[in-house]
Chains A and B, each alone.
Chain A
Amino acid sequence: MSSGFSPKPLDGVLGGYLLPLSGRVYADRAAALREAIEQVGPTALVVDASELEQIDSSGLGVFIDLLKGMRERGGKIAWFGLNPDVVRVFKITRLDSVMPVFDDRAQAVAQVSHA
């Protein structure tokens, strides 16, 4: 994958996808990220941030747009594996209150599975 973003179907969650992020997700990769997500059109999304170094407001903007669209259809986004710098960004922006953050994958999957 040249864009570096490849959402994979999430077993047992209808319309659910797992999206691994890696490196730094800044403005220069935001368009590719948006396209990769829009192509699959998830109704639930679990973001694996265990390889993510940092994400800026342009990268987060992609998830905010997605969240707004998904919520109208009852969809959810959950994150897991965030490093302390990324956790701090979620705390400062309070995005953890609209996209919950978990320690491990199972908790994140459970969160998006509940309708």
Chain B
Amino acid sequence: MTEAALVDALARAALVEEVVVLRDPSADVLEAYGLDDQLGVIAWISGDAEQRAAALNAGALEVVHPDMPVEEAVARVETAVARFRSRLHLERAREEQLNASEELAQDLRLAARLQRSLLPQELPSAGVQFAAFYYPREVVSGDAYGVQEFGDSVVFYTLDSVGHGVRAALISILLRSALQPCDASGALRAPNEVLADLDRMLCGTRVHETPTAAFCYGVLDRQRGILEVSCAGHPPPVRLRPNGERVEIEEASGLLLGIQPWDYASVSVDLEPGDRVFFFTDGVGIDSGREFVEQLLRHRDLNLEEQVGGALGGVIELDAEGRPADDVTVLAVEYAPDRSKRSE
């Protein structure tokens, strides 16, 4: 290999945007270039070993000199340029990734705010009392609940889209927007018909990973104390009487939404004043709510909100970041006709 090869190698290095080639640079010049960490210096030092060491100490990527075999000098230059560019590339990629994850985090926070804004801001209080608890595991959640008044009736539901995170959150928003409590004449529809519609909609989607959700839907007639319920793959709602009697409303359970068209059933329950009914997603525990219901019984002398709060405290374990293992939603309703101040 001739010296021309080294001249070529240095010329190629000098053509690289992030690299400069300097001949016998002074310490000041090297220091000035060293301030820019996006720029690398290859130094040709014709002086002695001390000057070469000084150039390296001042931050040169590589030093070549006339006493060095040409092959070695060429290899050193090429290696130094390649390493420097690769380091820069990696740093830039990391930076882009950081920016991208920050953007993604901002998007998620916005999505979470939007999702929360879809939850009821106020709960009805005439003839009933409601308490709602909603703890998403991640920023956005596959769980949701809703409460809406229609004259003497109140429609309410809890839902849990299968999976976690953004995908599950999108399914829950899709379900919420497709929900049709009333028929064309404005009359309330039976809960099983409402669920059958949602089921058909999910069954009709054509994506690889099936959108599936658990749903529990109720309509309470506040005048007559009649609750109609239908569930799809959802833990059965539990009715607790003031005397401590508990009834799981199991007959209302049908298949998870989105698997195959299903003939859902509605169940009608006559409530007595003081009866409480609890809708809860399976995030309350891997035993699908058995311990949660025990805890509800233990706290039954408290008001509705304190009862649910106390029961959740007894079953939900939070991780080091203060998050539950799964999304948790509880919607509780107490039939309290004496609270009605709007009629008569």
Contact = CB atoms under 8 A, between A and B. Distances in A.
Interface of A: 26-27, 54, 56-58, 60-61, 64-65, 67-68, 85, 88-89, 91-95, 97-98
A108 B296 CA distance: 38
**Main SS class of interface, B:** loop
B293 to A, nearest CB: 13
A27 B283 CA distance: 13
Contacts of B254: 94
A53 to B, nearest CB: 9
Nearest to A30: B163
Interface stretch (B52-60, B173-181, B218-226, B228-236): B228-236
Interface string B290-333: 00000000000000000000000000000000000110000000
A91 B253 CA distance: 9
A61 B208 CA distance: 11
Contact of A65 (B210, B233, B234, B325): B210
Name the residue in B160, B162, B208, B234 with the highest tally of chain A Cβ atoms < 10 Å from its Cβ: B162
A94 B163 contact: no
A49 to B, nearest CB: 15
Interface in B193-214: 208-210, 212, 214
B255 interface: yes
Contacts of A58: 162-164
Given A54-B286, A61-B210, A85-B286, A92 B234 contact: yes
Contacts of A88: 287-288
B164 A64 contact: no
Contacts of A54: 286
Given A54-B286, A89-B288, A60 B162 contact: yes
B260 interface: yes
Interface in B210-265: 210, 212, 214, 233-236, 253-256, 259-260, 262
A67 B162 CA distance: 15
Interface size bucket, B side? 20 to 34
Nearest to B212: A64
Nearest to A68: B210
- Please report whether the interface of chain A is mostly helix, strand, loop or mixed according to DSSP: helix
B164 A27 contact: yes
A109 B212 CA distance: 27
A89 B288 CA distance: 7
B272 interface: no
B282 interface: yes
A93 B255 contact: yes
B210 A94 contact: no
A87 to B, nearest CB: 10
A100 B235 CA distance: 19
Nearest to A61: B162
Nearest to A99: B259
B160 A57 contact: yes
5 contacts: A57-B160, A68-B259, A89-B282, A89-B288, A95-B233
Contacts of B260: 98
B234 A98 contact: no
Given A60-B162, A65-B209, A93 B286 contact: no
The 4 closest A-B CB pairs, nearest first, are: A93-B233, A94-B255, A57-B162, A61-B162
Contacts of A89: 282, 288
Given A26-B325, A67-B259, 12 more contacts: A27-B163, A57-B160, A57-B163, A60-B162, A64-B162, A64-B210, A92-B253, A94-B254, A94-B255, A95-B255, A97-B255, A98-B260
